[in-house]
Each structure stands twice: as C-alpha cells, then as structure tokens.
Structure 1
C-alpha cells in the first residue's frame, strides 16, 4: 500500500469525518457485532488504534522492539499471546472469540505493532458507522483490493469487544456516504 494512504489517518481515527470529505471510490468494510454498547466499543477501538498509530508513526521498524507506553493497559494485557483471560472482561471475551472463531492464537503486542509498518500494512483506517446498539461497520481503505493482509485489524476488532467480525467486503463510497445519513448511524 502506498504510504500516501496514511495521510490524515490519525485525524480520521481521533474524530468522525465531515460530510463531503474526499475519499477513495471503494472502501473495505468489516461488520462487527459487539459484546458492549456500540458507543463504548467505538471508544475502545479508537483509543487503541490512535495509540498504535501515534506509536508507530515514531517507530524505527528496523529495531527489535517498539515502545508500548501509549497502548492502553487492558489491550496490552490481552495482547500477550498466551493471555486469553485478563482483568478487562470485554478484552478477554473478545480475545476468546478471536481464538474460537479464527482458530488462531492471541497476538503478541510487539508482533501486532510491527504490522503497522506503512511499508507492509494493507489497510488504512477510514471510519466507523453504527448500525445498532450492538453492531458497527468498520471502514478501511484497502486501495480497492478485495483481499489484503488484515488479521492484525481483525485482532484489534475482537480485542476491543467484538463477538463476531465479518469481512472484508468492498463497498462503494456512496454506501459510506449513505451510512452517515441513516438514522441508526
């Protein structure tokens, strides 16, 4: 993915997009059923994603480790590979769902952070829209690719409190714009 796709990404994470924002013609979506209220889920997701982007924007990807100081403690705890049950019930539940549904082990935090290398990452954050009290759609820029490396994104979605994550599915920009006009969003 071209590094220019990441311009403005942190601003999109930290606040909702304004109507009329210039966007790619096609976005990839993930439908997430949450184990907590959608508003709480989105706050958790934005907190972790913002911290990860801030951290990795300053990271030296040729080093052995990346700083973990900005990463929320609850996410860092559950992102320890063998830790599925932590103090944060929402993160623990999401981690268990990930293991159950994906047949994968929980991610190690350093491995997860290294996936944010802009030379390797196949997606850039775009937006989130709410479908209901327990469902959201996560929108990412995949450069129009229907299949792209995104398991670290899926882990993020689960660890923040997802019961299920479906996708990616490509959708037109007009669908994203319409989702901002629907009363449930």
Structure 2
C-alpha cells in the first residue's frame, strides 16, 4: 500500500468493496482499561506522522522528538548502550520459552528500534480499518504483504497507545 492510500485508510477506512492486496488482512484484537476509541485514535495519530514522511526523513532520528506525540515518546524505552543491550539479551536467553515470549512482549521498545521496523524496506503491514466494539475493546485490521509478518512494531504502537492485550487473528484472504 502506498502512503496516500494508507493515509486514506487511517482517516476514512477502506472504500466500499475495496479489497486488500498482499496476503490479505490480519485482525488485531485489543483490550484496554481506557477508552478503546482513544487507543485507536492515538495509534492513528502516530501512523499519520509516519506515512507523511519520505523514506529519507524516516532515517533521520533527530527530527522525531518534535514530530511524534509526547505520549508515544514517553511510553518508549530510553535508548540502550551496547553493554545494556547485551546484558538484557543475556538475561532473556536464560529464561524458559514462555517467559522469553512474555518478557519480549512486555518490554517497551525504544524509538530507534520502533523506527527501524517502520522503514519502507522493513515494514510489511499497513493500516486497513478499525472498529471499536465497546469501551475497552477494538479490532484493527492490517494488510500484510505475506504471512507470517513481523507485527511487533504494530503491537508496540498499540501497547504504547494504551492497549493492555493485543491478540493477532489470522484472517488472510
């Protein structure tokens, strides 16, 4: 999906009868203790900034502090030194598989790590649509280029926006 199309999806959703490209859609079900509508709105706010950038601008991390919302920057982890990253990796490797998955899922992402996965050559998912089901629950559909797709950056965005749980449901066409 090209940025103008994704921007249209973020602002208005898909057109009537519009079909996804790639491998189809993944439904991402989120729950929150805050308004699910707020979670969806916050995620859209961040993605609208990203899709407005050129590939060259996405690389320049210096500008991001002034572009991304403060709530998102505050939710992100501080950048780590190589020593800090190595220490965390050593601790993570010592965990059993379930604890590894939980630790990786619960760990905040740094802005640089998150931006890496938003680079055009890395990104394999695009906002398709969202539906708030009730106060603390929503579904967001993303178009994926293939399956499986690296959706960790999208999951982090939803968690930073206020989601408590994020579950992927394969609904590929």
The answer to whether TM tops 0.5 is yes
Partner of residue 106 from structure 1, selected from 108, 113, 121? 108
1:80 equivalenced with 2:77 (yes/no): yes
* Number of aligned positions between the proteins: 148
For structure 1, list consecutive stretches of 5 or more residues without a partner in the other structure: 83-100, 174-185
1:23 equivalenced with 2:20 (yes/no): yes
Tell me by how many angstroms 1:56 deviates.
5.2
Tell me by how many angstroms 1:165 deviates.
0.5
Q: Is the 2:124–2:146 Cα contact (8 Å) retained in structure 1?
A: no
Bigger proportion of residues as helix: 2
Determine the C-alpha separation between the residues in 2 that align with 1:78 and 1:35.
Answer: 16
Q: Deviations over 1:6-63 (max 9, x none)?
A: 35112211233332224337311111012211222221111111112223555253x5
Length-normalised TM-score, structure 1: 0.69
Q: Which has the higher contact order (CA 8 A, sep 6+)?
A: 2
1:6 equivalenced with 2:2 (yes/no): yes
Q: Is the 2:50–2:58 Cα contact (8 Å) retained in structure 1?
A: no
The equivalent residue for 2:42 is 44
The equivalent residue for 2:63 is 67
Flag the structure with larger Rg: 2
Alignment RMSD (CA, Å):
2.4
Distance 1:58 1:127, change over 3 A: farther
